[in-house]
Amino acid sequence: MIPYIKFVNYPKDYDWLLKIIMPQSSPFVKTISGDIYKTWNGEAIINFKWNTFGKYVQVQLLIASIILGLIHLSFEIRQIIYNPIKWIRNFWNIFNILACVLPIFSAAHWLQTDDKHVKLLSFSCLFLDIKFLLFFRVFESFGVYFAIIISVAKQIISFIVVLFIIIISFAHAFYIMLSPIETNFSFDNRVINNDPNNPWNIVPTYGKVLDDGTIDSNPYIIQLPMKIQTCDSSSLSNWSYMNNPSIVILSVLFSLLIVVYLMNLFIGLLNIAIDKDNDRVSYLIQKAEILAEIELFYLLPHQRRWKEWFP
């Protein structure tokens, strides 16, 4: 017997419509406190509510999420069947399909395992939020910017590919130049040799000062090479520029070509592309595509023949 009289009850007399809009709280809702749930009585109330209706309502919500996701997914599948090339070329369809598939999978996984996969839920919410944002494309004040985003991306995609290949090429060159010549070393055991690229030869070491003022020849602390490679943003500082002119040449070429020239060129191309598509026509084209999608996949066949809508 729980000694909380009418702690979880609601008044019998109420206005149905008013309480839908502004629900009245019970003492249980008002007094959610750790002092109550430290006791067995508080835990018993929680278990009773959860086993009576809580878990069933949650299951119903998860099932509703799956059903709604399947409905939206069916629209995407119909668009793919109708014109797969056009569907693939539409950048926003990526967010649409992920906003359908991820919530379905998240809800199904939760129902089957009773475990809410936090990472999966986070991505589901991310793409659902983006999909919600896409509904604003039909309004001119927002739709203009969506049109600019897509149009600019289409115009500079080739430049992005070229830039990516150049960066990868420099990374490949640095990797070959700075890779250890000798292969008989291990990250687990310290190996000292004449290889200038041996990670153990270039890591910081800290010696111990003896009582007589001399420094012990054996390092007292050695920083692991793996930590340098993954965490040190200035890893090239481990090589002397005076003794490695090739590193200097590659660094200067990378700075001039990528940082100075190509990045400024990229900014200039963005400005040109934005000026080109910053008009109402791009928005109207985007809105026409949305209307065409609604006509083909959201309206029923008899609705597409209503004279009021299609005179």
CA distance 132 to 244: 54
CB 69 within 8 A of CB 107: yes
Question: Rounded mean pLDDT of 101-117?
Answer: 85
Helices (H) and strands (E) in the chain, counts: 14, 2
Residue showing tokens 């996984």: 109
The mean of the pLDDT values for the chain is 76
Dump pLDDT digits (tens) for 40-67: 776 777 777 777 777 777 788 888 888 8
pLDDT at residue 228 greater than cutoff 50: no
Residue 5: pLDDT band with limits 50, 70, 90: low
CB 143 within 8 A of CB 279: no
Taking the whole predicted model, whether its pTM rises above 0.85 is answered as: no
CB 110 within 8 A of CB 116: yes
pLDDT at 232: 45
CA distance 142 to 127: 18
CA distance 153 to 117: 33
Dump pLDDT digits (tens) for 141-177: 888 888 888 788 888 888 888 889 988 998 888 888 7
CB 129 within 8 A of CB 121: no
Residue 213: pLDDT band with limits 50, 70, 90: low
Residue 266: pLDDT band with limits 50, 70, 90: confident
The helix (H) or strand (E) run that includes residue 205 is strand 205-206
pLDDT at 227: 44
The amino acid at residue 173 is A
Dump pLDDT digits (tens) for 242-261: 777 787 888 888 888 888 88
Percent of all residues in the chain with a pLDDT value above 90, rounded to a whole number: 1
Residue ranges covered by each domain of the chain: 16-138, 179-276
pLDDT at 29: 67
Q: Which residues contact 276 (CB under 8 A, 6 or more apart)?
A: 151, 155
CA distance 178 to 180: 6
Question: Rounded mean pLDDT of 122-129?
Answer: 89
pLDDT at residue 71 greater than cutoff 70: yes
Higher local confidence (pLDDT), 237 or 283: 283
pLDDT at residue 91 greater than cutoff 70: yes
Residues found in the chain: 311
Question: Rounded mean pLDDT of 97-118?
Answer: 86
